[in-house]
Amino acid sequence: MTLLWAVGGAVGGLASGVALRELVNRFTRAGIALPLVSAAVLAVIATKFAGSVEVLAFACLGAVGVALAFIDTAVRRLPDVLTLPAYPAVLILLTVAALTGGTISALGRAVLGGLTLAFVYRVLEFVNPAGMATAT
């Protein structure tokens, strides 16, 4: 059964890597390796969280995270075109997981943690605005 989850994660990773490759290539030409890395990361995520209701949320984070890692390594920026849609997508997936898995308190802690992190980044932006410049 674990092998099926790994294969499913790898296939999803390949698909997400192909889908995100053009976007990554806007910032770096390293995007050619993106589908293979995404396949490996999502295979590990799917295996680790096999059968859990959170697996889709973690897979979404994994796919976006790999693309962001490629871009950040090349240009030291996390483009809004990837980060901004990821917030509501992951929140929706985690909400569905919390409602179907009965873990509403965990969702509350996750939202509180996300808001705390956003506050910390706003403080960092206030202290050093140039260090938090946005990339489009």
pLDDT for the residue 133: 66
Cα distance between residue 64 and residue 93, in whole Å: 14
Torsion of CA 124, 95, 20, 11, to 10 degrees: 140
**Model confidence pLDDT, tens digit, residues 47-80:** 999 989 899 999 999 999 999 999 999 998 889 9
Higher per-residue pLDDT: 46 or 134: 46
DSSP 29-68: GGGGGHHHHHHHHHHHHHHHTTT-TTHHHHHHHHHHHHHH
Say yes or no to pLDDT of 117 above 90: yes
- In this prediction, residue 134 has a pLDDT band, given cuts at 50, 70 and 90, of low
User: Full-prediction pTM beyond 0.85?
Assistant: no
Cα distance between residue 129 and residue 115, in whole Å: 20
What does the domain layout of the chain look like in residue ranges? 2-132
**Model confidence pLDDT, tens digit, residues 1-54:** 789 999 999 999 999 999 999 999 999 877 689 999 999 999 999 999 998 989
pLDDT for the residue 106: 87
Tokens of 56: 């889709």
Amino acid residing at 40: A
